[in-house]
Amino acid sequence: MSQPRRKRAVVLFSGGLDSTTCLAKAYADGHECYALSFDYGQRHTAELAAARAYVSEHDWIVEHKCVRLDFDGMGGSALTDPAIDVPDAGGEGIPSTYVPARNTVFLSIALGWAEVLGAQAIYIGVNAVDYSGYPDCRPEFIHAFERMAALATKAAVQDGNRVSIETPLIDLSKAEIIRQGVALGVDYARTVSCYQADAQGRACGRCDACQLRRAGFAQAGVADPTIYQSGR
């Protein structure tokens, strides 16, 4: 007897720890996975190299698109503007690594691809527990975008085919995310999280992303496979 066809999902996939776990979860949930990455002028392009390598090693990823956006031309973030230093972990308020409207733009493009594919879901690895305070990682934002999506597409308005925004990591600590990923077979040595990783993907060990990642492995009781730059 033939197996039932998997439902399709577009998965936002940067090549980092959270998005790789999210991709594995989408597949485990029974979806046919279409990975979507963005080259938006970010400093940490080693993450995109990790994403491409991961896709090449997993034949259950049906397709991978990498969309180029000119966020570096817009500026306003330490991740896209070389004149703004990437801060070390800590500090008050929303950090300078926040990229204006990033997840709004990413989800909008994902929504368009999902409509073309006839996908039922978009997966995004946002987290509201161990994160840097970004406003577009909160449940309120996700719920608002999902409501907007129901009004914005032909598939939803004409055919009643709404796309759900799935956030399987949103209420998990970094340690819980890592434990889930290990259970799903994720090789975290193949992921890059650092905001200023070098060309070889080696992490700085100082930025917020590095500190959250390092603490997550320690709290999960899992050996940290991250390769750090010398002296970090």
Mean pLDDT by 10 residues, the chain (232 residues): 76 97 98 97 90 96 96 86 81 83 97 97 92 86 96 92 96 97 97 92 92 95 93 51
pLDDT value of position 131: 65
pLDDT value of position 160: 87
Q: What is the DSSP string of the chain?
A: -PPPPPEEEEEE--SSHHHHHHHHHHHHTTEEEEEEEEESS-S-THHHHHHHHHHHT-TTEEEEEEEE--HHHH--STTT-TTSPPPBS--SSS-TTPPTTHHHHHHHHHHHHHHHHT-SEEE----SSSS---GGGSHHHHHHHHHHHHHH-HHHHHH--PPEEE-TTTT--HHHHHHHHHHTT--GGG----TT--TT--B-S-BHHHHHHHHHHHHHT----PPBPTT-
pLDDT value of position 5: 72
pLDDT value of position 199: 84
